[in-house]
Amino acid sequence: MATAASPTTTISGLAAVRAEIVRACRDAGREVAEVELVAVSKTFPAEAIEPVIAAGQRVFGENRVQEAKTKWPPLLEKYSGIALHLIGPLQSNKAKEAVALFDAIHSVDRRSLCEALAKEISKQGRQPLLFAEINTGAEPQKAGVLPQDADAFLTACRDSYGLTMSGLMCIPPLDQAPGPHFALTAKIAQRNGLKLLSMGMSADFGVAISLGATHVRIGSAIFGGRT
Ligand SMILES: *Cc1c(COP(=O)(O)O)cnc(C)c1O
């Protein structure tokens, strides 16, 4: 796990991110309440997370089921009102654990996973918010549905698997301006009647908010660098 920054650093990082969200919303003529901050705590230990919880943050993002499963249950017992979001790739054989632990899954990207999720959602009677991940840059190493396949995939989510999809997620290519990727994701969401947009990370969440992000996933700007 990454080394924890001092609580003071983490708290000022959180405050700076919140202030930046307020400013980005004001610039975009949006309500601050429309944008959920998902504090990405992946690789950081519980000691690094607790000061952030104490500062009032309640929504956290993790990218691995296994890590979340060992780290979060004691924290969930100790603090109320916490929501966990899975932002990393999900293997179908972990769908059961993911549905049990997470309140949102941002990485729905293939039919086999839809099938596994649908089964667990009905079995467990739990309904996490579901986002389809779009590979807007068509990067071969990256997960996600290709933009040209997105409409058919979303139709299949609904009609073939009975899933209620709430939104889309994207991770723009590192070496490109993120704006066009966010705009494309927003356009696909709009034509499919999806309201939520998970886009924007530490480096680009202001741009994402200007293009309609409802969930910004922010790690290093709060917790510091990951090693
Ligand atoms: C790690 C991660 C983030 C957070 O990235 P930062 O640049 O540290 O803010 C956001 N989204 C996903 C999918 C991630 O894996």
Written as one string, the DSSP assignment of the chain is -PPPPPHHHHHHHHHHHHHHHHHHHHHHT--GGG-EEEEE-TT--HHHHHHHHHTT--EEEES-HHHHHHHHHHHHHHSSS-EEEE-S---GGGHHHHHHH-SEEEEE-SHHHHHHHHHHHHHHT---EEEEEE-TT--TTS-SB-GGGHHHHHHHHHHTT-----EEEE---TTS-SHHHHHHHHHHHHHTT--EEE---TTTHHHHHHTT-SEEEE-HHHH----
Confidence at residue 84, expressed as pLDDT on a 0 to 100 scale? 98
How far is ligand 1, taken at its centre, from the CA of residue 181, in Å?
A: 16
pLDDT digits (tens, 9 = 90+) for 29-49: 999 999 999 999 999 999 999
Confidence at residue 8, expressed as pLDDT on a 0 to 100 scale? 83
Does residue 1 surpass a pLDDT of 70? no
Is the C-beta atom of 42 inside 6 A of ligand 1? yes
Is the C-beta atom of 41 inside 6 A of ligand 1? no
- For the chain, give the mean pLDDT: 97
Does residue 219 surpass a pLDDT of 90? yes
pLDDT digits (tens, 9 = 90+) for 35-84: 999 999 999 999 999 999 999 999 999 999 999 999 999 999 999 999 99
Q: Name which of 3-7, 80-84, 111-115 the model is least confident about.
A: 3-7
Pocket test for ligand 1, best of 217, 222, 223 (most atoms within 8 A of CB): 217
Does residue 2 surpass a pLDDT of 80? no
